[in-house]
């Protein structure tokens, strides 16, 4: 009898351990006892917080293995740690899933859930085989509840199958310029061929947020959706949304391989940043790392208009040097220089580095004709502590032909005529 009881207990123990393992591997945001540090937790409990005025001068140390802070205005990296290292991305995958859906179908279309979608494990919206639900409500279930079942239902509806939908995801990744990203699933459960980098995930999120519908969905704290004829209220898994000042989205994630992940967009004053943390050990670390990076950025960086300064520096240079570039054997003696395209208009600069911004102008001193229109003759280089931030070409606006023998003959006749007139 004791042996039978022991065996039963042993079997139940194995079942419990397997269930726990499955939950840990597949769940998107199970707390597992992870809490914020008391000081921040108290501030969050009391509502909106803004500690951007705090004197945060040292770049934060993080538990997260990889992170990046990305400026949406200049499309540049403010800071990062192993931001180009390939990594599992868990449910942050759904940023791309939602993007593909929004670009390829209508929100009011109705989806009938398949058995495969209804049986998908991990974090779930709760749809089952035969349920009818709109694309719109599936998207809310995808991005707020992080439903893996919603991800598969949408993939099958839009792509015909999960595999074909993954092809669409990878094609879009290529279009956006994500060279170190590859998708296998629409939900992000662990797969060795499913990966991205912190930097490319920030680029993807920046692209996705340009879609107003996407931005509205990920910025929603609580939503009511309809499955068949019944209503269901769902809450966003993003712990910073509606809590930390300026946070407007976007997505959480967790698997055993990926660790705790969080992608956050934050807007304050005239700055708009995306923070990505990947590979945190706990939800507490994920949250605290994100907060520290966000607050450090807003405390220590500000947007600087370098376009105005570049134009000013070029204008001053042109007034002095325009007629100092000699055109050898040209029908015109001087060039007519202008600035090429300025890609970066405003950039985030650390406050104590603003006075260190340098503008260097480098041009040729002479050029042999013929000179083509729009030919490059120099550049303006913008540097901060010898690091190149921007490089703008200086180009010639008017073509200049090379003198022919006729030009030299006419010039000689002109000079001879001048000499003859002087003698007479």
Nearest Cα to Cα of residue 67 among 52, 58, 77:
77
User: What CATH number is given to the structural domain containing 144?
Assistant: 3.40.710.10
- Shared domain for 167 and 281, answered yes or no, is yes
pLDDT > 60? residue 1 = no
- Shared domain for 218 and 156, answered yes or no, is yes
Active site residue 75: no
- Average pLDDT over the chain reads 87
Predicted TM-score (pTM) of this structure: 0.84
Tens of pLDDT, residues 33-64: 344 555 555 555 554 444 444 457 788 999 99
pLDDT given for residue 401 in this prediction: 85
Give every CB contact of residue 234 below 8 A, 6+ residues apart in sequence.
125, 140, 141, 144, 145, 222, 223, 224, 225
Distance CA 169, CA 153 (A): 15
Say if 415 falls within a structural domain.
no
Q: Which of 4-8, 163-167, 253-257, 328-332 has the lowest mean pLDDT?
A: 4-8
Residue 26: band (very low, low, confident or very high) from pLDDT cuts 50, 70, 90 = very low
Nearest Cα to Cα of residue 78 among 304, 308, 339:
304
Average pLDDT over residues 392-418: 75
- Helix or strand (DSSP H, E) at 377: strand 376-384
Average pLDDT over residues 272-280: 98
Active site residue 94: yes
Say if 81 falls within a structural domain.
yes
Q: Using alpha carbons, list the distances in angstroms from residue 147 to 123, 142, 237.
A: 5, 5, 11
- Shared domain for 371 and 241, answered yes or no, is no
Q: Is the model more confident about 373 or about 414?
A: 373
- Shared domain for 341 and 293, answered yes or no, is no
Q: Which of 87-91, 334-338, 385-389, 406-410 has the lowest mean pLDDT?
A: 406-410
- Shared domain for 65 and 207, answered yes or no, is yes
Say if 162 falls within a structural domain.
yes
- Shared domain for 205 and 71, answered yes or no, is yes
Range of the domain at 158: 37-302
- Shared domain for 378 and 254, answered yes or no, is no
Say if 83 falls within a structural domain.
yes
Domain count, the chain: 2
Q: Is the model more confident about 166 or about 42?
A: 166
- Shared domain for 242 and 289, answered yes or no, is yes
Kindly name the residue from 64, 87, 91, 114 that is annotated as catalytic: 91
Active site residue 23: no
- Shared domain for 265 and 375, answered yes or no, is no
- Shared domain for 131 and 233, answered yes or no, is yes
| Dihedral angle of Cα 394, 400, 403, 404, to the nearest 10 degrees | 140
Q: Which of 37-51, 70-84, 339-353 has the lowest mean pLDDT?
A: 37-51
């Amino acid at each position: 009898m004791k042996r039978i009881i022991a065996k039963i207990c042993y079997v139940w123990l194995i079942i419990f351990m397997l269930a726990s393992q499955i939950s840990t591997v597949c769940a998107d945001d199970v707390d597992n006892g992870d809490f914020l540090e008391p000081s921040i937790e108290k501030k969050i409990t009391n509502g909106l917080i803004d500690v951007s005025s705090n004197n945060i001068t040292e770049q934060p140390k993080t538990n997260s293995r990889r992170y990046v802070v990305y400026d949406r205005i200049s499309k540049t990296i403010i800071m990062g740690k192993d931001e180009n290292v390939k990594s599992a991305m868990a449910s942050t995958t759904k940023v791309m899933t939602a993007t593909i859906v929004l670009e390829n179908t209508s929100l009011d279309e109705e989806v009938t859930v398949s058995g495969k979608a209804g049986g998908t494990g991990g974090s779930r919206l709760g749809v089952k085989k035969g349920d009818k639900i709109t694309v719109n409500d599936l998207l809310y279930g995808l991005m707020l509840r992080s439903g893996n079942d919603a991800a598969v239902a949408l993939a099958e509806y839009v792509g015909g199958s999960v595999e074909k939908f993954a092809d669409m995801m990878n094609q879009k990744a290529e279009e956006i310029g994500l060279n170190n990203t590859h998708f296998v699933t629409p939900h992000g459960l662990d797969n060795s061929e499913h990966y991205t980098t912190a930097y490319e995930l920030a680029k993807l999120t920046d692209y996705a947020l340009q879609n107003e519908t996407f931005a509205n969905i990920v910025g929603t704290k609580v939503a009511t959706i309809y499955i068949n004829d019944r209503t269901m209220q769902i809450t966003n898994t993003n712990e910073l949304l509606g809590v930390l000042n300026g946070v407007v989205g976007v997505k959480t994630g967790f698997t055993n391989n990926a660790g705790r992940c969080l992608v956050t967009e934050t807007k304050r004053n005239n700055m708009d940043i995306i923070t990505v943390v990947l590979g945190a050990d706990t939800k507490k670390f994920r949250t605290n790392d994100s907060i520290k990076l966000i607050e450090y950025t807003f405390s220590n960086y500000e947007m600087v208009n370098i376009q105005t300064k570049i134009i000013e520096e070029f204008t001053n240079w042109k007034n002095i040097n325009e007629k100092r570039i000699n055109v050898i054997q040209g029908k015109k003696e001087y060039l007519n220089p202008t600035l090429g395209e300025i890609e970066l208009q405003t950039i985030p600069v650390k406050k104590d580095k603003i006075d260190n911004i340098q503008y260097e102008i480098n041009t040729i001193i002479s050029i042999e004709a013929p000179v083509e229109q729009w030919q490059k003759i120099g550049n303006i280089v913008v540097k901060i502590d010898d690091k190149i931030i921007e490089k703008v070409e200086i180009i010639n606006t008017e073509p200049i032909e090379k003198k022919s023998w006729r030009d030299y003959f006419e010039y000689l006749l002109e000079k001879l005529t001048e000499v003859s007139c002087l003698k007479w």
